[in-house]
Structure 1
């Protein structure tokens, strides 16, 4: 992985984590936390979305949408576990 790909990877993770925090009405997790939430969310979405038949286009915008959906799922699951 080149340095450009790594920067894009971190950028997509940060934006997705930030958007997920806004959607889930949270306060955010700071830059590093948003990156982690976004990256983990992208992995979750990569597993869950194809199982339910949802396909999102490519490119940066598609990647951000994909990772944001996964990050929202992640934050929802964290919220459910904390309440239990």
Structure 2
């Protein structure tokens, strides 16, 4: 059941990140992939930098969205080069 929540959080975070980063969205599967990878990146960065968000589902979405926005920005920079 946890994997289902992880995918749902990834989908929401990917969609939010694509809206915040002024992208057009990547479709259902693309937003989910960006969100899941962003969740992993965001969790790593938050724990490495000493930040902790303990807000349950909402906190998970915030961390995943932050990671997904960072991922989108990095991918755009790499694509530009």
Give the TM interval when normalised to the shorter protein: over 0.9
- Root-mean-square deviation (CA, aligned residues, Å) is 1.0
Q: Does 1:69 align with 2:35?
A: no
Larger Rg: 1
The match for 2:75 is 78
Distance in 2 (CA, whole Å) between partners of 1:49 and 1:11 is: 20
1:33-53 Cα shifts (integer Å, max 9, x gaps): 111001100111121122222
1:58-81 Cα shifts (integer Å, max 9, x gaps): 411111111000000100100110
The match for 1:48 is 45
The one of 5, 29, 49 equivalent to 1:8 is 5
The match for 1:34 is 31
The match for 2:20 is 23
Gaps of 5+ in 1: none
Gaps of 5+ in 2: none
- Structure 1 range deviating more: 54-63 or 67-76: 54-63
